[in-house]
Chain A
Amino acid sequence: MTVKVGDELPTFTRETGFANWNRYAAVNDEFVPIHMDDAAGEAAGNGGAFGMGNLQWAYLHNMLRSWVGENGEILSIEVQFRSPNVKGQTVTAKGVVTAVDGDVISLDVWTEQQEGTKLAPGSAKVKMGK
């Protein structure tokens, strides 16, 4: 596959809420009130409970991994958690190629909710599998 600047990656999308967050808490021991209790989430400045940044992080990895293939490599990734993932949102992980340097591909990556607001913008470098 020839990769060029501007290419968009196949997306990774999930409906989000307690069903996702509780499963993630169960494997990551992340039973934090702001992720499980609306009152705690509201006290933290949001409308209610909200999802883990680490799960947004995982969704971005899922998208990248699917694209590079089993023999590909995720070399690096950085994101900022800018906006909370609240209950009922449809979260989509997206990516676009920003540079190709030999076999190293640079990308802008982010998660966004159903109206297009970015939740976790960032960047990544990957190598495609052979």
Chain B
Amino acid sequence: MTETYLNDTVINANGTLCSRSVSYPIEASAIRKWAMAVYWPEPAPETFMNAEYAPEDFDAFAWGPASYESLLEGDDGRVMVRHGINERALGFPDWKFRAGLNGGMNCTYGVRMHVGDVITDVKSVGEYTERQGRMGLMLITQSISTWTNQNGELVKRTINSGIRY
């Protein structure tokens, strides 16, 4: 039975910058399709069908970035970690889990996303903790994603919490 997931490497990684991704320019059709999916089966608001701007929850990286680079020393970035952070490159233990779940999200918004915007996403390590649950010892992770647009304006900063056991 696992007694703890946490060691000094994991604990001290809090705040480490991991990767920088740059999106393709946001397309009007991507905004429309997103809105149609999240409002289905009712029609999406005209604002989004006209692609005046994107819904705040729109993911400019849903189908992959235009470019990706690792910010971790010694990591050539050939293994792209789109969601979360590259725990292997950080030297974290090679944990084995039965399942992983989306624990929650905490987001602060800045300016809206518009057609043609190019978004940069810098991911960093948040806090890693653990607690006992009905499925055994659970590892609770945070990855922090900071989006800026081509003008350097903050679009959003999201803390994603994951649960693995």
Contact = CB atoms under 8 A, between A and B. Distances in A.
Contacts of B59: 28
A81 B40 contact: no
A24 B37 contact: yes
Contacts, number: 87
A2 B151 CA distance: 36
A62 B43 CA distance: 12
Contacts of B102: 52-54, 81
B99 A45 contact: yes
Contacts of B37: 20, 23-24, 26-28
A59 B34 CA distance: 12
A104 interface: no
A23 B102 CA distance: 19
B101 A78 contact: no
Given A54-B57, A62-B39, A65-B55, A76 B99 contact: no
A96 interface: no
A23 B41 CA distance: 10
Interface string B16-40: 0000000000000010011011111
Contact of A44 (B38, B64, B99): B99
Contact of B105 (A26, A43, A53): A53
Contacts of B106: 76-78
Contacts of A66: 45
Contacts of A120: 104
A41 B104 CA distance: 18
Interface string A52-88: 1111011101100110001001111111110000000
Interface of B: 30, 33-34, 36-41, 45, 47, 55-57, 59, 62-64, 98-99, 101-109, 135, 161
